[in-house]
Structure 1
Amino acid sequence: MPTQTGSGPAEIATVPAISEADARIERQLCEFATSDSALIWETQDELSSAIAEAGMHFEGRAYPVCLRPLAIDCDLANHLSATAEGVIKLLDVAAELYCCNEEVQSLFPSYKDLGHWITCLPQYRPIVRICRLDGLFGSDGYYKILETNTEGPGGVIQNGLAAKVWSRIPNPLAHGLALDVSKQPFAKDPNCFVRELVSAYHAATGSELRTAAVVNFRGRYTNEVEWIVSGLRDVGVEAALLDITAMKRTPRGLVGPDGEIIDLVYNKLDVREIAKYIETGEYLDACAAQEVVSINPWISQWILSDKAILAVLSDDRFASNFNAKQVELIARHIPWTRLVRAGVTTNPERRRIELIGYIRENKANLVLKPSNATRGEHVLVGHLTPSEVWEEHIDRAARNPYVVQEYIRPGEVTALHLPSRSIKKMAYGIDCYVFGGRFAGFQSRASFDAVMNVGRSGILMPVAVAGG
């Protein structure tokens, strides 16, 4: 594990070695892979059945929770949670900066006509009430945030539930190890997410939450919705899943199909599409005018979830807007990122470069990503991409909102790949959920694909704190 060289969690500075508990799990799984793996797959099937019986799924498909946990030590768990909470404060600064700085606004060309919705910031802080920060460990040993997921991230309830179910299954891989998932608030309390929605409403209004709607558009992004609605009802809130078009803006406020005022909305939307449709205008207006408490607000849905927000954080041009501790946090945990466009900028070593030429000459160390796509769509990892395809995408990226980012090589673990029923090495990452500015839990994804995503045959590994 990383060594502690100072008093705070930000002082961890060496490459994180695997924990002793995880090293033992790794060895055991490798032994099963080369001998008789029947026991492991029998136990995996028991876990998968328990997950399904608990009602968890991924858009109607099996929720791919692996028997193999990722075991991290207590120091690393504390470090990651403190880092994640610090990044949420960075996003508050970035949101306010977007509202007043034209240079920052120019990094988000897709939203130039949406400012009347985006720049109406709520009074409460943090602005981002629910998010998942996705990351990997860099070669310098620091955890790197690759995506912010400040719109309506998946796993906010099911990952905590899955961790609890996993902890109840007798597991030959965890035999003799002290592995604790309950250090994570959303595993200790499955209603942690719902309680944050209630808390967010109280923070915004000073009143108790009575009515809420989980909102989607044309039936997309409904995963976990049933858990959210039932969770709200369990704490005494009248809640329903509603399409944007089922609500109306009135002088009394936003109302549902029964005419009752809706106090709070939680957005499960494809934010790239909704602004294109006339029928979504009233809802967008009502949320922006704060006639209903909207979690998360539009600046989170569009700007703070766009990958170009990392270009704001990692560019020295904007460093003076952050305090000294925040500048240090950015230097350690935000990878070098730039919006792809012709012009002069600085490289990761802070030397002046012409960006397009730099991208051409440094393919092996870079990744190209659409700035506002999801689930790894159209991401190109330079060292895995043929030169002619890379050249073609540089031209495309210069005409469309793309970012270029330094390549962070993922670590590898041996895990059970459920779709192929094989035990193999896979790339993995670790993600941090933050609710109301406070750490809520971990997620670890693993995949054969360089772009890790559960929607692309990836798996989920429960994260457990070893010896905690």
Structure 2
Amino acid sequence: MNAVTEAYLAAVAAGRMPHEELAKAIRATGLHDAIYRNGHLARPLFLTRADRERLDADLRTLHGLLTGLPDRLFDGDAGAFAAAVGAQGPQVGAARTAAGQATTLSRADLYPAADGFKLLELNVSGAVGGLENSILNAAYLDSPHFAEFAAAHGLGYADTMALLGETLRGEAGDGSVVAIVDWPDSYPELEPMLRKTAARLTDYGIDALVGHAGQVECRDGAVFLGGRRVDVVYRLFLMEDLLRPGGPALLDPLLAAAARGEVAMFTPIASELYGSKAALALLSDERHRDRFDAAELDVVDRVLPWTRMLRPGTVTVDGEREDLPGYARRDRERLVLKATMLHGGTGFVAGWRTDPDAWDRELRAAEGGPYVLQRRVVPVPELVPEPDGTLRPWVAVWGAFLTGRGYAGTYIRAVAGTDAGAVVAGGSLTGCVFHED
């Protein structure tokens, strides 16, 4: 627990941080009616200045390492990299079309362990959730008691949405038209939220439209939505949509227009590959250590848990050579099984929450497929006050954003208790982070 957190909890205990005042400020945002349906965590989390500076540097390094893997390991062959991290069929072709394109927008999902933050995955996409987190920061500052605390401790926050707007303007310049484009199947449900996002972007000088891929027109050397020419497509559809029936027919014209420079794609569709868990396995694999310098290896060793593709053969574990399938069964309680390119907890199996027979069945079904094994991270729980002032432990995933400016705010998802495997199971509450300026 850092000094700011200790001071905050002391203020709660002394009655200087009224629970209902804070809760009222958060409810007034309307976020939990429109977006974060499960509710909010009862306090913000805090970063010291030193921790924020280290997190900023580590995020920059990890992003650079992952986006540099095609050059370092595959001689620049984007298709070979795509296949290695689990892309299939039209996805490989899309990766080749978008070769060389990347974006700094990403969200690193991290656990705070006893020796620092550990990376669970890096989402390199504009479709990541939590971009609205700074609304929660602003709401806390509407509470007079919290505003006084923040001023006394020199606390500020990164406005993720403002930094996103800055990034979007950089894609095509001021006065550009941005189309937020979803997949047709999910658009009817998400449209109200997307319109709220578009309205927020206007606060940052972005002329934003919303629609789905079936409404986009590619003609006359340009891209249109609702009859308006578009400068930037803010992509919410996913690379996995290329594997749906009719997916390539719907998306190929738009991807080709982006490759010809007729529209900017934010983020390029191949950027998702850098967030594949298989990319983390490539970065973690001891066979590739000679491709990185000492400073880069320090970040990999300190931040990235041991991660390997689930394949027959031997690997190095804690300095010893091990048969991977045998090790996976023997060390079940310290391992997690994850699908390489799925999201939202799909394909996630926590070894310590699974009996040996069920774990064995999961391993047999996944072996040789698009799955990784990752060493379990034991997070340090956050103490959160109940309405009566008692403290309860919560496990929080820190979703730390990165843009071209560096660290860009954090979206918190948390569940009560101490079991890290429960966060991905759904029902988590949301929160935000303040840092020392």
Q: Which residue of 2 aligns with 1:460?
A: 430
Q: CA deviation at 1:390?
A: 0.9
Q: CA deviation at 1:168?
A: 1.7
Q: CA deviation at 1:431?
A: 2.8
Q: CA deviation at 1:59?
A: 5.5
2:164 matches 1:193: yes
2:278 matches 1:312: no
**3-state secondary structure, aligned to 1:308:** helix
Q: CA deviation at 1:289?
A: 4.6
CA distance, structure 2, for counterparts of residue 220 and residue 322 of structure 1: 41
Written as runs of structure 1 = structure 2, the 5 A alignment for 1:417-436 is 424-436=392-404
Written as runs of structure 1 = structure 2, the 5 A alignment for 1:188-267 is 190-202=161-173, 208-220=174-186, 222=190, 225-234=194-203, 236-258=205-227, 260-267=228-235
Q: CA deviation at 1:404?
A: 0.6
Alignment equivalent of 1:88, drawn from 55, 63, 66: 63
Q: Which residue of 1 aligns with 2:20?
A: 42
Q: Which residue of 1 aligns with 2:408?
A: 440
Q: Which residue of 2 aligns with 1:387?
A: 356
Q: CA deviation at 1:254?
A: 2.1
Instruction: Specify the code of the residue in structure 2 equivalent to 1:272.
Output: E
Instruction: Specify the code of the residue in structure 2 equivalent to 1:19.
Output: N
Alignment equivalent of 2:8, drawn from 25, 29, 37: 25
**3-state secondary structure, aligned to 2:138:** helix
Q: Does the C-alpha gap of structure 1 residues 57 and 193 become closer, same or farther in structure 2, counting only changes over 3 Å?
A: farther
Q: Which deviates more, 280-289 or 237-246?
A: 280-289
TM-score normalised per structure 1: 0.80
Q: Which residue of 1 aligns with 2:86?
A: 109
Give RMSD over aligned pairs.
3.2
2:337 matches 1:368: yes
CA distance, structure 2, for counterparts of residue 395 and residue 458 of structure 1: 30
Instruction: Specify the code of the residue in structure 2 equivalent to 1:424.
Output: R
- Give the unaligned 5+ runs of structure 1: 1-17, 203-207
TM-score normalised per structure 2: 0.86
What's the CA shift string for 1:297-346, capped at 9, x where partnerless? 12212x11211111111112223333332222212211111111222222
Q: Which residue of 1 aligns with 2:41?
A: 66
Give yes or no for contact 1:65–1:162 (8 Å, CA) kept in 2.
no
What's the CA shift string for 1:232-258, capped at 9, x where partnerless? 444554421110011122241222241
What's the CA shift string for 1:40-75, capped at 9, x where partnerless? 5423431332221xxx24765547333412123211
Alignment equivalent of 1:334, drawn from 280, 283, 304: 304
CA distance, structure 2, for counterparts of residue 27 and residue 427 of structure 1: 20
2:135 matches 1:161: yes
CA distance, structure 2, for counterparts of residue 135 and residue 360 of structure 1: 26
CA distance, structure 1, for counterparts of residue 205 and residue 405 of structure 2: 24
- Give the unaligned 5+ runs of structure 2: none
Q: CA deviation at 1:358?
A: 1.2
CA distance, structure 2, for counterparts of residue 393 and residue 454 of structure 1: 18
What's the CA shift string for 1:355-394, capped at 9, x where partnerless? 1111111111111111122222242222222112211110
Give yes or no for contact 1:369–1:380 (8 Å, CA) kept in 2.
yes
**3-state secondary structure, aligned to 1:400:** coil
Q: Does the C-alpha gap of structure 1 residues 45 and 137 become closer, same or farther in structure 2, counting only changes over 3 Å?
A: closer
Q: Which deviates more, 317-326 or 439-448?
A: 317-326
**3-state secondary structure, aligned to 1:415:** strand
Written as runs of structure 1 = structure 2, the 5 A alignment for 1:289-328 is 289-301=260-272, 303-328=273-298
CA distance, structure 2, for counterparts of residue 377 and residue 422 of structure 1: 34
Identity %: 20
Instruction: Specify the code of the residue in structure 2 equivalent to 1:367.
Output: V
Give yes or no for contact 1:91–1:304 (8 Å, CA) kept in 2.
yes
**3-state secondary structure, aligned to 1:51:** coil
Give yes or no for contact 2:306–2:375 (8 Å, CA) kept in 1.
yes
Q: Which residue of 2 aligns with 1:178?
A: 152
